[in-house]
Amino acid sequence: MKEDVSKFVNACIAKGEGENSGDTKNDRKYYQIIHAVYLKLKAEHRLDELLELLDDKNLYVKLWAAGYLLEAHPARAEKALEELAAARGNMAGFNASMTLKEWRAGRLKLQ
């Protein structure tokens, strides 16, 4: 796994662990890492490197990868988000359903 993708994965996992435990003091820090990697990959036309993460075992890795792939690969990203949303009972599933709702309503803008 390339360094940028590895950094993305690690930040997604840490952010998800904090969200699940209620310890969100580093939430913004991990979001900034995730978003910075996304912006770098997008600028370098390397977003396809996130595609393999749509099958990741970690729900938060899958969630963030799918969210950031909605513009480039809408069908695959929506499918991954639908799978997460169907697995109710966790924050990743709730976040996936909200992401889909906002995306389909045209209110989700990726920068």
Extents of the domains making up the chain: 3-104
Distance CA 2, CA 51 (A): 13
DSSP state of 58: S
Q: What is the pLDDT of residue 1?
A: 64
Range 43-54 average pLDDT: 97
Instruction: State the pTM of this model.
Output: 0.94
The pLDDT value recorded for residue 20 is 82
CA gyration radius for the chain? Answer: 13
Mean pLDDT of 35-54: 97
The CATH number of the structural domain formed by 3-104 is 1.25.40.70
In the chain, the percentage of residues whose pLDDT exceeds 70 is: 99
Half-sphere exposure of 84 (CA within 13 A, CB side): 31
pLDDT digits (tens, 9 = 90+) for 77-107: 999 999 999 987 789 999 999 999 999 999 9
At 55, list the tokens: 């099958």
3-state secondary structure of 2: coil
What is the enclosing helix (H) or strand (E) of 4? Answer: helix 3-21
